[in-house]
Amino acid sequence: MNEPVLPPIGMLAELTHRCPLQCAYCSNPVELLKANREMDTAGWLSLFEQAADLGVLQVHLSGGEPTLRSDLVDLVACLARRGVYTNLITAGVGIAEGRIEALAAAGLDHIQLSFQGAFAATTEKIGNSLGAHQKKLETARRVRAAGLPLTINAPIHRHNMEEVPDFIDLALGLGAERLEIANVQYAGWALLNREALMPEREAVERQVQIVEEAQERLRGIMTIDFVTPDYFAIYPKPCMGGWARDAFMVAPDGTVLPCHAAATIKSLHFERFGDWSLSRIWHESAAFNAFRGTSWMQEPCRSCERQEIDWGGCRCQAMAIAGDAAATDPACVLSPLHARMGALINEAIRTKAADTTSGAFTYRRIGKVAEPTV
């Protein structure tokens, strides 16, 4: 059955696609938006006011690199004034002196700092940026000195999976309250680089054992969240809690989407804030209602007892692999295309020469790049 449309509680605001790093695993779209297409300060402030009116309780400020927005302090202050919890997701590179302190004074609640590797060489290879690792360490120290809670985000793939124990030690050493071991999800630039990023099954199994042991050992000391790799899963995750169920995201130009990769479903049209109010988009948009609830589901989802657990999984992954956004997510063992996931893993492993050749990455850069094929 379908649930009534409830107010959203969470929002991901991608303030910009600009970024000092060029990470090959980035989930931003392959066609990145330039600065002249970003929504201006007044637009974001109006959107945040409407989000608070709509019921949003927490906003994740992301990008690209959100600290490249000169108005970030004003945006945080607006959300703080409305009682909305704010989490800044940052690469931690090139943040001006005093900026973290100003954000804390404006009411920022939390900072999530990404590390591409537990060691400098890995961070610099994956992000294609010399000196980035040391800058991140300094940013982490400044975050803690400002009294802000800190999460370390570790996007995991073939080139850093063996560093998972070192990520745990790094997060502990930096005084983080939380570590997110986030296996890469293949959208945007990550999909373009899938063959170079895909780990081996044995490495994934070792990773799971290491994380589970650390979660138990560090209980009450540091929280470790684990984002499982879809291609190795038995059942899919409920993407964003379910399509347009309790959260949404906004692209730098104000386009409002149910999830960060939704624009890859070319049959759907997504409205821009300003053309439509946020409330109208949430309640009335055809794209938001396309996969909301369960009535859209095909078999085996339609009669599955898990339909209100995973909400059909990821629509964008279904589009990428099955060619049909309404299909059962191929990550699910019940999907007729589940074997395709294993075939893609094996195909990637056969090209393992990418392991030692940084040139195998197509680094994230502003400018049109051919869309990935599957």
Statement to judge: residues 21 and 166 lie in one domain: yes
Tokens of 137: 């360490």
Q: 179: domain CATH number? A: 3.20.20.70
Instruction: For residue range 209-219, list pLDDT tens digits in order.
Output: 999 999 999 99
**Does the residue 109 lie in any domain?**
yes
> What is the spatial distance between Cα 12 and Cα 64, in angstroms, rounded to a whole number?
12
User: Do 248 and 213 fall into the same domain?
Assistant: no
The encoded tokens of residue 267 equal 């049959």
In this structure, the answer to whether residues 20 and 119 fall within a common structural domain is yes
Omega before residue 64 within 30° of 0, cis: yes
Residue 155 parent element (H or E) = strand 150-156
- How confident is the model at residue 328, as a pLDDT? 93
b vs e for 133-153, b when ≥16 Cβ sit within 10 Å of the residue's Cβ?
bebbbebbebbbebebbbbbb
Q: Per-residue pLDDT tens for 160-199? A: 999 999 999 999 999 999 999 999 999 999 999 999 999 9
- The confidence score (pLDDT) of residue 353 equals 52
Q: Annotated binding site: which residue ranges?
A: 19, 23, 26
User: How high is the pLDDT of residue 83?
Assistant: 98
Q: Tell me, yes or no, whether 57 and 166 share the same domain.
A: yes
Kindly state whether residue 201 falls inside one of the protein's structural domains.
Answer: yes
Place of tokens 């610099």: 124
Residues 217 and 252 in one domain: no
Residue 240 has pLDDT above 90, yes or no: no
In the predicted model, what is the mean pLDDT of the chain?
93
Q: How far apart are CA 208 and CA 219, in angstroms?
A: 16
Sheet of strand 150-156: strand arrangement: 223-227, 178-183, 150-156, 110-114, 85-90, 58-62, 10-14, 247-250, 256-257
pLDDT(1) > 90: no
Structural domains of the chain, count: 2
Is residue 280 within 8 A of residue 151, CB to CB? The reply is: no
| Residue ranges at the known binding site for [4Fe-4S] cluster | 19, 23, 26
* The token pair that represents 321 in the structure block: 């692999």
Report yes or no on 284 lying in a domain: yes
Which pLDDT score is estimated for 41? 98
Strongest mean pLDDT among 20-24, 238-242, 350-354: 20-24
Regarding whether 216 and 256 lie in a shared domain, the answer is no
- pTM score above 0.85: yes
Rounded Cα–Cα distance for residues 134 and 142 (Å): 13
The DSSP secondary-structure symbol of 113 reads E
Let me know if residue 321 belongs to a domain: yes
Regarding beta strands 256-257 and 247-250, do their DSSP bridges make them parallel or antiparallel, or are they unpaired? antiparallel
Which tokens is 233 given?
């899963």
Separation of alpha carbons 194 and 190, rounded Å:
6
Please write the tens of the pLDDT for every residue from 285-302. 999 999 999 999 999 999
DSSP secondary-structure letter at 66? G
Together in a domain, 205 and 279: no
Work out the pLDDT band at 351, boundaries 50, 70, 90: confident
In a domain, 311, yes or no: yes
pLDDT tens figures, 111-130: 999 999 999 999 999 999 99
Please tell me whether residues 257 and 321 are part of one structural domain: yes
Going from the C-alpha of 12 to that of each of 20, 177, 303, the distances in angstroms are 20, 21, 32
Q: Which domain holds residue 192?
A: 10-228
Please give the Cα distance from 182 to 226 (Å, whole number): 6
| Confidence at residue 370, expressed as pLDDT on a 0 to 100 scale | 46
Give the integer Cα–Cα distance in Å for 359 and 22.
13
Residue 141: inside a domain: yes
Assess whether pLDDT exceeds 60 at residue 359: no
Report how far residue 295's alpha carbon sits from residue 302's, in angstroms, rounded to the nearest whole number. 8
Residue 30 resides in a domain:
yes
Same domain membership, residue 172 and residue 39:
yes
Q: For residue 233, which phi and psi values (nearest 5 degrees)?
A: -85, 165
* Structure confidence at residue 79 (pLDDT): 98
| Bridge partners for 201 per DSSP | none
Task: Provide DSSP, 249-315.
Answer: EE-TTSBEESSTTGGG-TT---PBBTTB-HHHHHHH-HHHHHTSSSTTPPTTGGG-TTHHHHTTS-H
CB 271 within 8 A of CB 256: yes
Query: Does pLDDT of 360 surpass 80?
Result: no
In a domain, 57, yes or no: yes
pLDDT mean over 261-274:
96
User: What residues have CB less than 8 Å from 305, skipping those under 6 apart?
Assistant: none
Same-domain pairing of 171 and 246: no
Say if residue 205 is in the same domain as residue 244. no
